[in-house]
């Protein structure tokens, strides 16, 4: 299946693995989907996701359109931010929601259709296998990724490594899974897009086991128009620097 | 007295009076009032007795009194701006906490009928 594990400190016996795999997945699997003005795509994403998880929690980050309504109609639990707080804040709220729902696993994915919910089982398998944080990496099989995205990703990975000493192949991926332990220990302080790098850094800080699973990214014209521009990139870097000096990593 | 000295002293008096007014209305903390008044008193004194700035400049090894004033003012400005930046971050965190709690209030009760 091509799972890369990092920071794996011990070996698990076969019987223990099966038992702990069961224990690790006892409790609802909650999908956390941060959404900001995604009324067109969020419904489809939710419906496809519900096939693989127990509950879908959409965090409506102050959308001006009918994202919340569309999400509710598609069968998701919706938590609404009255004002837009940013991706990081939305994820933080999603994590807190997952905790309150006693989730065994929280899976994060984007609302714009860039992630294929059919790959959720691969992430869950990695959690069952002992990982605390699973990152779906587009770079393990980067077919079809635009060159500028690849470059931006390389820069992001480099920055994450330099600032937080954590090596990943796709630091900016929004397709991730977190075990109950990871949910309990990770605290998200970033508000905006630097949260991706912060999550990796937090995993390292708490000694969580990080694994990567190859995923396919779906690049439609729509999803390409979102994401990080140069300006956002610079802003994100500045925010990360501030984060680095204000916490002991 | 030079015109600039009069202007600076007048500005200092005005600033301090305004500060006391703010304090009375409860908009300014006692600490803020004292620091602000101290700052402006220093400005007025330096304006009336410029020899003092030359003296301080001498201690610091800086050429002119006015240069020393500028260096000091610049450092103070950077420090204050940094304090404001940090304070803003804290306020943003607090806003997020509030918005988060408001949003999460109905979670778990979502099984009861909404719309």
Q: Measured between CA atoms, how close is B79 to chain A, in angstroms?
A: 16
What is the band of A29 on the pLDDT scale with cuts at 50, 70, 90? Answer: very high
- Please tell me the predicted confidence (pLDDT) of residue A191: 75
Percent of chain A with pLDDT over 70: 78
Evaluate if residue B66 carries a pLDDT over 70. Answer: yes
Contact residues on chain B for A77, CB-CB shorter than 8 A: 107, 110
User: CB B108 to CB A93 under 8 A?
Assistant: no
**Interchain pair A85, B95: CB under 8 A:** yes
Rounded to a whole number, what is the distance in Å from the CA of A143 to chain B's nearest CA?
37
Say yes or no to pLDDT of A136 above 50: yes
User: Of the candidates A77, A96, A189, which has its C-beta nearest B100's C-beta?
Assistant: A96
Using alpha carbons, select from A98, A129, A139, A153 the residue that is nearest to residue A209. Answer: A129
Asked whether A166 and A203 are in contact (CB, 8 A), the reply is yes
Question: Looking at A8-17, A64-73, B32-41, B52-61, which range is the least confident one?
Answer: A8-17
Please give the share of chain B, as a percent, with pLDDT higher than 90.
64
What is the band of A11 on the pLDDT scale with cuts at 50, 70, 90? very low
pLDDT exceeds cutoff 50 at B114 = no
Nearest-Cα residue of chain B relative to residue A76: B110
Q: Name residues whose C-beta falls within 8 Å of residue A68's C-beta, 6 or more positions apart in sequence.
A: A58, A60, A78, A80
Q: Is A85 on the interface with B (CB under 8 A)?
A: yes
According to DSSP, residue B114 is labeled -
A133 pLDDT tier (thresholds 50, 70, 90): very high
pLDDT band at A14 (very low <50, low <70, confident <90, very high): very low
Contacts of A74 in chain B (CB under 8 A): none
Look at A181 and A147; give whichever has higher pLDDT: A181
Residue of A nearest to B105 (CA): A79
Judge if ipTM > 0.85: no
Express each pLDDT in B82-108 by its tens digit.
Answer: 999 999 999 999 999 999 999 999 887
- Across the interface, do B100 and A89 touch by the CB < 8 Å criterion? yes
């Amino acid at each position: 299946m091509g799972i890369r594990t990092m920071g794996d400190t011990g070996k698990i016996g076969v019987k223990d693995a099966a038992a702990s795999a069961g224990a690790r997945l006892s409790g609802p699997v909650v999908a956390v989907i941060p959404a900001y003005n995604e009324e067109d795509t969020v419904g489809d994403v939710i419906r496809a996701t519900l096939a693989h998880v127990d509950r879908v929690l959409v965090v409506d980050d102050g959308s001006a359109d009918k994202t919340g309504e569309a999400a509710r109609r598609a069968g998701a639990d919706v938590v609404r931010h009255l004002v837009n707080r940013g991706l990081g804040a939305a994820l933080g709220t999603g994590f807190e929601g997952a905790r309150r729902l006693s989730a065994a696993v929280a899976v994060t994915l984007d609302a714009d259709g860039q992630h294929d919910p059919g790959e959720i089982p691969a992430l869950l398998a990695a959690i069952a296998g002992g990982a605390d944080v699973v990152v779906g990496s587009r770079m393990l099989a980067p077919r079809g990724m635009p060159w500028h995205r690849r470059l931006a990703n390389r820069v992001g990975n480099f920055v994450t490594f330099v600032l937080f000493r954590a090596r990943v192949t796709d630091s900016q991926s929004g397709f991730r899974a977190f075990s109950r332990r990871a949910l309990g220990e990770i605290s998200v302080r970033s508000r905006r897009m630097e949260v991706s790098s912060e999550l990796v850094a937090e995993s390292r800080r708490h000694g969580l086991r990080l694994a990567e699973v190859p995923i396919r990214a779906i690049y439609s014209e729509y999803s390409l128009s979102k994401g990080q521009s140069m300006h956002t990139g610079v802003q994100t870097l500045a925010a990360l620097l501030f984060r680095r000096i204000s916490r002991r990593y | 007295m030079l015109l600039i000295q009069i202007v600076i002293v007048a500005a200092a008096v005005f600033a301090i009076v305004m500060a006391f007014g703010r304090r009375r209305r409860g908009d300014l903390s006692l600490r803020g009032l004292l620091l602000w008044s101290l700052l402006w008193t220093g400005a007025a004194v330096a304006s009336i007795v410029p020899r003092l700035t030359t003296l301080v400049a001498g201690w610091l090894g800086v050429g002119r009194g006015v240069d020393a004033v500028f260096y000091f003012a610049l450092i103070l400005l950077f420090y204050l701006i940094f304090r404001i930046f940090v304070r803003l971050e804290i306020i943003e965190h607090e806003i997020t906490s509030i918005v988060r709690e408001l949003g999460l209030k109905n979670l778990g009760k979502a099984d009861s009928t909404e719309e």
